[in-house]
Amino acid sequence: MIQENPPRRIGRSISALLIGFVLVLVLTLVTDLALHAAGLFPSPRQASSSGPFVLATVYRTLYGILGSYTTARLAPHHPMQHALLGGLVGLVLSTAGAIAKWNSPETIGVHWYPIALILLALPAAWLGGKIRTLQEAA
């Protein structure tokens, strides 16, 4: 007999995904603003060299790992599946962002950046989930 998840567990799954997503979003926005304020990033809508985009790729990937770890940590069951589902959301959002910004002045000449975010979404999610599952096994 197949039992459905009680609403409380479904709510906890949704909460885990939401908390992981919000964590990544807040960390990314705060870091972006700080780097703009420090003059390390050009003003929005201004073309840039690859340097700032390399930095953004690194910290956004690290935040993706942290967000997936957090999602897996808070998940009521199947932490890796929760982490990967969060990564799938990141993949979809990264793809939508790449499509929307493909011809924007700030990304002209650095089309590798949105592609990198798309390609790194699921590996980052997997790594965050893996770190959590290794902790559980220990």
pTM attached to this predicted model: 0.88
pLDDT of residue 101: 84
pLDDT tens-place string over residues 67-77 = 999 999 999 99
At residue 60 the predicted structure's pLDDT band, cuts being 50, 70 and 90, is very high
**What does the DSSP 8-state code read for residue 46?**
S
pLDDT tens-place string over residues 5-54 = 555 688 899 999 999 999 999 999 999 999 989 988 877 666 677 788 89
What is the percent of the chain with per-residue pLDDT over 90, rounded to a whole number? 68
Q: How far apart are CA 137 and CA 4, in angstroms?
A: 26
CA distances from 62 to 24, 33, 78 (A): 9, 17, 22
Show the tokens assigned to 112.
């590798």
pLDDT of residue 3: 56
